[in-house]
Amino acid sequence: MSMAAVETKKITLRTADNHEFEVEEAIAMEFSTIKTFFDENPDASEDTIPLPNVTSKCLSAIIEYCKSHLAFRARETSSSIDEQVRTYDEEFVKARDNESLKELILAANYLNIKALLDMLNQAVADRIKNKSVEYVRRFFGLENDYTPEEEAAIRAENEWAFEGVDPDDD
């Protein structure tokens, strides 16, 4: 009796900039959005899934992340594994500039990858820690839509919180 080669099922994803990625089923199932889609459409597994909200740069990073975390999870839990996961996550975030971080958050949100999203949200929170309101606005590319009076009233409510922030030098 010959052992048939185990074929890992692959799913094809097409990004917003028209790149196609073939990923192992296990990885695609980490994206809850896709998992739900397949649960509801079991015979759609041969089709290419369009991801109009995700760029190839983002998807590539996300696939990397999910692959690594799947590998970590396959090993026995221990404090040294936890340490490695922490280091991996730190490195994953450290290299990204603010724009990439934001793109990744939106992509992780769209694809519904909870662990990645939580990790990225924490990273963003760390980057705006002790920064001024103006810095946070620039970070997210937001306009101040308050009138000067409204802004003054908001600051007056908790005057103490608006002082002593890091100088905005970036």
User: What is 6-66 written as a DSSP string?
Assistant: PPPPEEEEEETTS-EEEEEHHHHTTSHHHHHHHHH-GGGTTSEEEETT--HHHHHHHHHHH
In this structure, which amino acid lies at residue 150? E
163 binds another protein (CB under 8 A): yes
* Binding map of another protein across residues 32-61, x = CB under 8 A, - = no contact: -----------------------x------
Handedness of CA 149, 155, 156, 162 (dihedral sign): negative
Q: Considering CB under 8 A, how many residues would be counted as binding another protein? A: 38
CA angle 111/26/70 to nearest 5° reads 90
Report the site for another protein in 100-159 (rule: CB under 8 A).
Answer: 102-103, 105-106, 109, 117-118, 121-122, 124-126, 128-133, 136-137, 140-146, 151, 154-155, 158
Residues that bind another protein (CB under 8 A): 55, 102-103, 105-106, 109, 117-118, 121-122, 124-126, 128-133, 136-137, 140-146, 151, 154-155, 158, 160-165
